[in-house]
Amino acid sequence: MSPTQWDLPVELCCRPMAFVTLTGLDVVYNAVHRAVWDAFCANRRADRVPISFKVLPGDHEYPKCRPKRTSYEWYIPKGILKTGWMNKHLNLVPALVVVFYELDWDEPQWKEKQSECATRVEIVRQSLQGRNTKVAVVLIQKKTPLPPGEDVIASERAAALCNACELSGKSLFVLPHTDHLVGYIIRLENAFYEHAQTYYYTEIRRVKSHKEFLNKTTHQLLFVRHQFKIAFFSELKQDTQNALKNYRTAYNLVHELRAHETNILEIKTMAGFINYKICRLCFQHNTPLDAIAQFRKHIDLCKKKIGSAELSFEHAAWMSKQFQAFGDLFDEAIKLGLTAIQTQNPGFYYQQAAYYAQERKQLAKSLCNHEASIMYPNPDPLETQTGVLDFYGQRSWRQGILSFDLSDPEKEKVGVLAIQLKERNVAHSEIIITLLSNAVAQFKKYKCPRMKSHLMVQMGEEYYYAKDYTKALKLLDYVMCDYRSEGWWTLLTSILTTALKCSYLMAQLKDYITYSLELLGRASTLKDDQKSRIEKNLINVLMNESPDPEPDCDIFAVKTAQKLWADRISLAGSNIFTIGVQDFVPFVQCKAKFHAPSFHVDVPVEFDIYLKADCPHPIRFSKLCVSFNNQEYNQFCVIEEASKANEVLENPTQGKMCLVPGKTRKLLFKFVAKTEDVGKKIEITSVDLALGNETGRCVVLNWQGGGGDAASSQEALQAARSFKRRPKLPDNEVHWDSIIIQASTMIISRVPNISVHLRHEPPALTNEMYCLVVTVQSHEKTQIRDVKLTAGLKPGQDANLTQKTHVTLHGTELCDESYPALLTDIPVGDLHPGEQLEKMLYVRCGTVGSRMFLVYVSYLINITAEEKEIVCKCHKDETVTIETVFPFDVAVKFVSTKFEHLERVYADIPFLLMTDLLSASPWALTVVSSELQLAPSMTTVDQLESQVDNVVLQTGESASECFCLRCPSLGNVEGGVATGHYIISWKRTSAMENIPVIRTVITLPHVIVENIPLHVNADLPSFGRVRESLPVKYHLQNKTDFVQDVEISVEPSDAFMFSGLKQIRLRILPGTEQEMLYNFYPLMAGYQQLPFLNINLLRFPDFTNQLLRRFIPTSIFVKPQGRLMDDTSIAAA
């Protein structure tokens, strides 16, 4: 038996195609024949008819046809299907034999050639005796034929040739050897195909005709056989629908056969074949569900047909093959465009095939465990005379025997033994692994990651059984993390156990240690006794000894492993293994926790390392070191416990580094941070815990960051969610879950022990040199050095403020734009304990609004921390918000000489400018002086002297000044005429002498100047007295360049008598002045209306009395007559 006994035969799996043989072609020496043959076999794409061609010599012997049976009465079939039958019809018995012959119609020696051709046909016919195979003749001609009917000779000779060869006209073809060879060939093969179909049709009819002779009792096998043949011929005929129908019938017939232990294999084999055909055709017809249903039915029917118990592995092998074959068919259909889904894909079939292969292995293991002394029987009962079986699925030692009784039990026994011994040599694992890897490939495609992992585990385990430990470990290691990350600890433990065995058997130190660590850990579901065993082994390994073998390992493999381990011991080399724990769950847990999120530089940084072991026995570690991002600290955080290798398990409760299972161990570390690290983060980058020592073997467990392994994040989450009350523990113990990893801390500067005070008088006044007094007092115990002051506008505010704020230390001079907004690092020397210093700071704010000012004092101090002298830089800052306000408001107005408000001034006519300074400052202001700077267009009437020198203004008080000005005529100026500037020099009353005076410049408003034609002013005393003459002189000035006619009249008044011109008309020359003199005589005392002067300009009708009244007084105060004077006057009277 070949190892591929269970493989389906090739002839079953191929697509049956009509078989046509070509004779008379010399493809080796004749180029034309070669070209013809090439045209037949090259480029056989799907669009060409399905024919398989074969070139054979003309005298080829075809398989002999058995003589026709006239009666089936005495015929007893010996099996269902002969092993050679399918091959015979695919490759040996043609549907059509084509005779190629070179013959042109105008051949001169026609007669001879014709008879030679006839002879050739005859020879072919001879060898096909009894078969229905068709014969055809193809004449290879050099000349292109004429259209049919035109060549008289041709049709004559063709008829003659047909006659000579006993062919019908349909079987004679002409192949002109011209340019269009391929076209001719395709036409030829289409004709051949028709002939072949006819042949297979007759074959089907022939097989069907046998049916009537059969009876159900003795010819059951023939029913199946015939049905199968009909279906197979239908397939050859490319009638797949009928083929499928007939195969289905055949399938049902197979299961109707009486099954017995002796023929069950034959039945199953045939059922498998037919099932394969059905499924294949269903997929071909694009009805995959039918295929699946058929396959399910097939499996359900055959699952229980195990047959001989001694050979039950054969059943498993057969089942496995069924699934595999179906998986292959399914996969092939997918490649041709079928879509599979997650829950229905070829992977499941490969997986099931693998399971049956595993079962086969198991069964073989239990059934084929013969002792080595049992020899393979001789002669070999599995040998047959021909080397092959006559019928599919029969036993070689009783071929063709249909009896259900075993005629020769001894022979049977030997046969079974031979099969069993053969089975022992089968590489089961290889088969299983191949199937599993097929399945893995499928599940990968159909989004089944977990199924994939599971199959990979099985592959790994199978490699383990096959003793390929390297591959096993590779696969197991690959999938471990999937189970770990999803928290399936039972499965992980199982995988780890196998992995540990592999690493033991290969004496892979590092892997062995890693898996041991995890199997001892909390993720492992092993029992304590197992854990103890593993722990003991681990300790042995660390003491440079060999571990005990893992249980259930192959004895021979263990022997090899023990040798390997012994070699490892003698082998010097790297015995330190660093194992990163972040990817698995080791038996020691570690958490690092800084005591605070930040430490001042002058106090030692403290943190705890918590360790907890989950292994069953106490364990002693040799070294613990902590690494930081600043490696200089690493040296301070090492604990090393010198112990001899054999002490790992002794004195368990003593020593810092000995962990008692389940108890949390806290290790305190302390170090002084470097002053350079102020403001930086100190981070624990890793924690290394060493087990064992350098003399033996040493394992360094490496935690990244502040501890934590593959499972701890989930645990931390769970612990955070938990509201379980934890039992009270003794003071020095903590609950593991309650420890939260804190792997980094900030180093911050030392707390300053100085006081910084600011003294000032807010608000600041615009542009003033605002004084800020900074007082620094040291409260330190020792002298502080290098005290520096940084003061000014706090950075980060509006950029415009920086432009408009200036800071200086010197208040005696006004600062300008060049001064900075922030003075940095002003050295102020050293300070003794308790000493105090004061610094004045002047700020000039150019705009109003609030500003934040910063005063920052830094200094150095020597400190002793943990017996170490360090220089600390301390600093303290103060910020203050200062509002800046205007010191005063200045109001300016223009009035006439009569103090009447003026909208505009009149050219050349004096007017008054009044300024009003209202203090807005909460502090008293001293107006040092004021100054009026006139624009060139303005002239003053009298001296411009300041009237407010050294005036002190309290809040809300105001200081006013009045200046008499005149504006010469300038013509019409758009927007008015500039008046000039008003400059106020001032300071705070409280400010010191040396503080400069601030000059505030106020731009005076522009004024509109208007020309008037006539100006009238009056000269009159400031008061009158009853019955005393009051002389009044009016001056009329002509302001124009024209001679003016002026009408003047005086309206009478009850209060006055007067003398002078009552009504007059006069002319005033340009630029000249006319005086009018009146003598008023008051009659009544009090504030009296003067007789009104009406002036009428004939040229300027707009010039009204209204305007006039602005210039001349309209009333006067008249005092009553004095009493003394009265007496004298009476007397005089």
Partner 1 sequence: MPLIPSLWESKANRSLEFSCLRPALGAGAGSCVTSGGSRDAARAGPPKLAVCIAVIAKENYPFYIRSTPTENELKFHYMVHTSLDVVDEKISAMAKALVDQRELYLDLLYPTEDYKVYGYVTNSKVKFVMVVDSSNTALRDNEIRSMFRKLHNSYTDVMCNPFYNPGDCIQSRAFDNMVTSMMIQVC
Instruction: Tell me which residues touch partner 1 (CB under 8 A).
Output: 299, 342-343, 348, 352, 355, 447-451, 454, 457, 483, 486-488, 490-491, 494, 714, 717-718, 721-724
In whole angstroms, how close is the CB of 443 to partner 1 at the nearest point? 8
Choice between 556 and 723, CB closer to partner 1: 723
In whole angstroms, how close is the CB of 708 to partner 1 at the nearest point? 17
Any residues with CB less than 8 A from the CB of 127 and at least 6 apart, and which? 59, 60, 61, 62
Three-state SS at 540: helix
In whole angstroms, how close is the CB of 489 to partner 1 at the nearest point? 8
Residue 212 to residue 228: CA distance in whole angstroms: 16
In whole angstroms, how close is the CB of 57 to partner 1 at the nearest point? 53
Choice between 119 and 714, CB closer to partner 1: 714
Burial group, residue 447, by CB count within 10 angstroms (0-12, 13-18, 19+): exposed
Choice between 718 and 947, CB closer to partner 1: 718
CA distances for 13 relative to 4, 825, 911, angstroms: 14, 94, 127
In whole angstroms, how close is the CB of 455 to partner 1 at the nearest point? 9
Q: What does DSSP say about strands 958-966 and 96-102: parallel, antiparallel, or unpaired? A: unpaired
In whole angstroms, how close is the CB of 490 to partner 1 at the nearest point? 5
Q: Which residue from 323, 333, 336 is spatially nearest to 295, judged by alpha carbons?
A: 323
In whole angstroms, how close is the CB of 334 to partner 1 at the nearest point? 18
Q: What does DSSP say about strands 96-102 and 18-23: parallel, antiparallel, or unpaired? A: parallel
Choice between 342 and 646, CB closer to partner 1: 342
| Phi, psi of 109, rounded to the nearest 5 degrees | -95, 55
Choice between 461 and 535, CB closer to partner 1: 461
Choice between 448 and 637, CB closer to partner 1: 448
Choice between 476 and 689, CB closer to partner 1: 476
Residue 754 to residue 792: CA distance in whole angstroms: 20
In whole angstroms, how close is the CB of 486 to partner 1 at the nearest point? 5
Choice between 351 and 622, CB closer to partner 1: 351
In whole angstroms, how close is the CB of 456 to partner 1 at the nearest point? 12
The amino acid at residue 761 is: E
Contact 706, 780 (CB under 8 A): no
Choice between 352 and 805, CB closer to partner 1: 352
Residue 533 to residue 1021: CA distance in whole angstroms: 135
In whole angstroms, how close is the CB of 52 to partner 1 at the nearest point? 38
- Sheet bearing 172-176, strands edge to edge: 51-56, 18-23, 96-102, 134-141, 172-176
For the record, the structure tokens of 951 come out as: 């005036």
Choice between 714 and 1003, CB closer to partner 1: 714
Choice between 354 and 1116, CB closer to partner 1: 354
In whole angstroms, how close is the CB of 711 to partner 1 at the nearest point? 10
User: In sequence order, what DSSP letters do the residues of 815-848 get, joined into one string?
Assistant: --TTS-SEEEEEE---B-TT-EEEEEEEEEESS-
In whole angstroms, how close is the CB of 748 to partner 1 at the nearest point? 38
The amino acid at residue 395 is: R
On the CB side of 412, how many CA atoms lie within 13 Å of its CA? 12
Any residues with CB less than 8 A from the CB of 496 and at least 6 apart, and which? 480, 515, 518, 519, 524
Residue 460 to residue 466: CA distance in whole angstroms: 10
Choice between 710 and 784, CB closer to partner 1: 710
Choice between 126 and 722, CB closer to partner 1: 722
Choice between 71 and 343, CB closer to partner 1: 343
User: In sequence order, what DSSP letters do the residues of 1078-1133 get, joined into one string?
Assistant: EEEEE-S-EEEEPPPEEEEESS-TT--HHHHHHHS--EEEEEPPPHHHHHHHHHH-
Strands (E) across 954-1029 are located at 958-966, 980-988, 998-1003, 1009-1010, 1014-1019, 1023-1025
Q: Which residue is it, tokens 């006439």?
A: 896
Choice between 5 and 494, CB closer to partner 1: 494
In whole angstroms, how close is the CB of 282 to partner 1 at the nearest point? 20
The amino acid at residue 51 is: I
Q: What is the DSSP letter of 71?
A: -
In whole angstroms, how close is the CB of 350 to partner 1 at the nearest point? 13
Residue 1076 to residue 1074: CA distance in whole angstroms: 7
Choice between 718 and 960, CB closer to partner 1: 718
Choice between 670 and 735, CB closer to partner 1: 735
In whole angstroms, how close is the CB of 475 to partner 1 at the nearest point? 15
Choice between 316 and 872, CB closer to partner 1: 316
Contact 214, 72 (CB under 8 A): yes
Q: What does DSSP say about strands 849-865 and 785-793: parallel, antiparallel, or unpaired? A: antiparallel
Q: What HEC string does 50-61 produce? A: CEEEEEECCCCC
In whole angstroms, how close is the CB of 609 to partner 1 at the nearest point? 27
Q: To which H or E segment does residue 39 belong?
A: helix 31-41
Contact 693, 701 (CB under 8 A): no
In whole angstroms, how close is the CB of 722 to partner 1 at the nearest point? 5
Instruction: Give the CA angle between residues 819, 820, 821 to the nearest 5°.
Output: 125
In whole angstroms, how close is the CB of 432 to partner 1 at the nearest point? 16
Contact 629, 704 (CB under 8 A): no
Contacts for 526-535 with beta carbons within 8 Å, 24 or more apart? Answer: 526/493, 526/497, 528/616, 531/615, 531/616, 532/616, 532/617, 534/500, 535/615, 535/616, 535/617, 535/619
Q: What HEC string does 194-249 produce? A: HHHHHHHHHHHHHHHHHHHHCCCCCCHHHHHHHHHHHHHHHHHCCCHHHHHHHHHH
Instruction: Give the CA angle between residues 96, 101, 107 to the nearest 5°.
Output: 145
